[in-house]
A = this chain, B = another copy of it.
Amino acid sequence: MTIKLTDVAKKAGVSPTTVSRVINHYGYLSQKTIDKVHLAMEELNYQPNSLARSLQGKNTQLIGLIFSSVGNPFFGELVEKLENKLFEKGYKTILCNSADNKEKERDYLRMLAANKVDGIIAGAHNLGIKEYEKVGLPIVSFDRFLADNIPIVSSDNFHGGQIATQALIQSGGEKIAIFTGTNRSNSPTNSRLEGYLATIKKNQLEPYVFEFDSHYSPALKSLEIKKILKEEALDSVFCTDDLTAILVMNEAVKLGLKVPEELKIIGYDGTTFMQQYFSQLTTIVQPIEDCATLLIDLLVQRITDKDVALEPLYTLPVKLIQGEST
């Protein structure tokens, strides 16, 4: 005998609507009611069938996340927060690490469309506009320009670049370099460099821009960092991500440079992980929690009404956290 939703309702002594609400995490429910329904579901070993629901033309409650790599603490943290918040809204998360692999990203987009996920949150940037426009699903993007009608959630990269550079100047920095990735035309993160350049210019200083190939391994990057630190006599480095800042700190220690006396270092991203385990680094904190909330809010709006008017770009504020490296 198949257990039905009405059996659960009867057992729990509530209405079928209430059971449905508990299952779909929807509407106001007291903890007592939730517990009663869960208990009844367990005693009857009842399993709601999303597949069946999706066949009736309803939503699958599946959301696809496409990010380059959850092994990177920044994306690991963002994906974790997204998954937690999606779960609270009754959605399940399908994870794709596109790993800077164009073919994989394309395959995934096809798979996600084929699985009729309700929507996609994407922070990868291998593919062109065409592929994303073609998917025909609600999509929101983190920090990447994907297509004309796909809204972007980003933190205030320009302001981040400004306050990082300003902090180095205030600590007495005069020869201030920026260590950044290669320029990507489709990314608002380029504004970190622009914020740096504007602040350098305003203070009548000389810019020192070093771009690192994004395909370099940390070991190769460290070699290049070492060479730069030895040759350039910089007194300050603004790294546009915290992981590069860690490599700079490591090389500084090896070269016997005192941080911050001889070399000031500031990072970017400020994950909880960095704040907990490397609080010595001064860094610009992106509001990961707020980004996750907004991404999901916008996506749900699009899922509910595919024609809803959304802004092309939502910019959230950043802040500086003072460590001991500046």
What secondary structure prevails in chain A residues at the interface with B?
helix
Q: Which of A165-223 contact B (CB under 8 A)?
A: 217-219
A78-120 interface mask toward B, CB cutoff 8 Å, 1 = contact, 0 = none? Answer: 0110011001000011111101000010111011011110000
User: In the complex the two chains form, is A71's CB within 8 Å of B272's CB?
Assistant: yes
**In the assembled complex, which residues on chain B have CB atoms less than 8 Å from the CB atom of A276?**
217-219
User: In the complex the two chains form, is B73's CB within 8 Å of A77's CB?
Assistant: no
- Kindly state whether residue A28 has any CB partner on chain B within 8 Å: no
Shortest Cβ gap from A134 to chain B (Å): 6
Task: Take A48-B114, A116-B51, A277-B218 as given contacts and tell me if A95 and B71 are in contact as well, using a CB distance cutoff of 8 Å.
Answer: no
Q: How far is the CA of A61 from the CA of B113 in the complex (A)?
A: 14
A112-134 interface mask toward B, CB cutoff 8 Å, 1 = contact, 0 = none? Answer: 01111000000000000000001
Q: How far is the CA of A80 from the CA of B50 in the complex (A)?
A: 26
User: In the complex the two chains form, is A97's CB within 8 Å of B84's CB?
Assistant: yes
User: In the complex the two chains form, is A95's CB within 8 Å of B94's CB?
Assistant: yes
Q: How far is the CA of A279 from the CA of B65 in the complex (A)?
A: 31
Q: How far is the CA of A71 from the CA of B111 in the complex (A)?
A: 25
Shortest Cβ gap from A2 to chain B (Å): 13
- Kindly state whether residue A54 has any CB partner on chain B within 8 Å: yes
Shortest Cβ gap from A73 to chain B (Å): 6
Copies of this protein, total: 2
Report 18 cross-chain contacts, Cβ distance below 8 Å, ordered by A residue: A47-B113, A49-B114, A49-B116, A51-B51, A51-B54, A55-B55, A70-B83, A71-B73, A71-B76, A72-B76, A80-B97, A83-B95, A87-B96, A93-B94, A95-B95, A247-B277, A250-B279, A250-B280
- Kindly state whether residue A41 has any CB partner on chain B within 8 Å: yes
Shortest Cβ gap from A131 to chain B (Å): 9
Q: How far is the CA of A247 from the CA of B114 in the complex (A)?
A: 46
Name the interface size band of chain A. 35 or more
**In the assembled complex, which residues on chain B have CB atoms less than 8 Å from the CB atom of A96?**
83, 87, 93
Q: How far is the CA of A110 from the CA of B22 in the complex (A)?
A: 13
* Apart from A47-B113, A93-B94, A243-B277: 5 A-B pairs, beta carbons within 8 A: A45-B134, A51-B54, A71-B271, A93-B95, A94-B94
- Kindly state whether residue A26 has any CB partner on chain B within 8 Å: no
Shortest Cβ gap from A278 to chain B (Å): 8
- Kindly state whether residue A246 has any CB partner on chain B within 8 Å: yes
Q: How far is the CA of A96 from the CA of B86 in the complex (A)?
A: 10
**In the assembled complex, which residues on chain B have CB atoms less than 8 Å from the CB atom of A93?**
94-96
Q: Which of A238-278 contact B (CB under 8 A)?
A: 243, 246-247, 250, 271-273, 276-278
A274-296 interface mask toward B, CB cutoff 8 Å, 1 = contact, 0 = none? Answer: 00111110000000000000000
Shortest Cβ gap from A36 to chain B (Å): 14
- Kindly state whether residue A69 has any CB partner on chain B within 8 Å: yes
Q: How far is the CA of A160 from the CA of B79 in the complex (A)?
A: 31
Q: Which B residue's beta carbon lies closest to that of A35?
A: B103
Q: How far is the CA of A134 from the CA of B42 in the complex (A)?
A: 10
Of A84, A113, A247, most B-chain CB atoms within 10 Å: A84
**In the assembled complex, which residues on chain B have CB atoms less than 8 Å from the CB atom of A87?**
96, 104, 107-108
